Amino acid sequence: MKAIKVIPICVVFLTLIVGSSFVQNNSDQILGKWFSEDNTKTVEVFKENGKFSAKIIDAKDKIQVGKIIVWDLQYDNNEKEWSGGEVQLPEMSHPASCYVKLKGEKIIITGYHGFRIFGSSQTYSRKK
């Protein structure tokens, strides 16, 4: 009888471990190098202190190289997006709130002030 009681406990424990590692791996999907749609810059998404950021690592305008353009993002498992951070998009004169969505091999970085519907987005493709 004791073995029968132990099995359900082990199943619950393993489910919790596997589930939490899946969320961790899921959040790390945006890590790596991405190039802009117009192919004028490459950014690298990295993780530091549990938060995600992106910096320009190559650009036609060499002055931009090294500039961090996204910072303080955290993965929201419910929304399946990275949010809570800020972005400095070229068409914006100052930082804006932002979120990032992963669509296959592309990320869409959206910056906005106030309401998401009025945001401005840039799309990047994964660099292979």
Helix (H, G, I), strand (E, B) or coil at 123: strand
Residue 23 lies in a domain: no
Residue 15 lies in a domain: no
4-56 pLDDT per residue, tens = 554 544 333 433 333 443 445 689 999 999 999 999 999 999 999 999 999 99
Of 49, 56, 65, 48, residue with least CA distance to 109? 56
List the CATH number of the domain containing 100: 2.40.128.520
Residue 68 lies in a domain: yes
pLDDT for residue 103 is more than 90: yes
Residue 2 lies in a domain: no
Report how many domains make up the chain: 1
- CA pair distance 100, 97, nearest whole angstrom: 11
Residue 99 lies in a domain: yes
Helix (H, G, I), strand (E, B) or coil at 10: helix
Query: For 45-49, 84-88, 89-93, which range has the lowest pLDDT when averaged over its residues?
Result: 89-93
Q: What is the mean pLDDT of residues 78-105?
A: 91
pLDDT band with cut points at 50, 70 and 90 for residue 111: very high
Residue 72 lies in a domain: yes
Determine if residue 108 is left, alpha or beta; phi over 0 gives left, psi from -120 to 50 gives alpha, anything else beta: beta
The pTM for the full model equals 0.77
Residue 48 lies in a domain: yes
Domain limits at 60? 30-126
- CA pair distance 125, 67, nearest whole angstrom: 19
Residue 11 lies in a domain: no
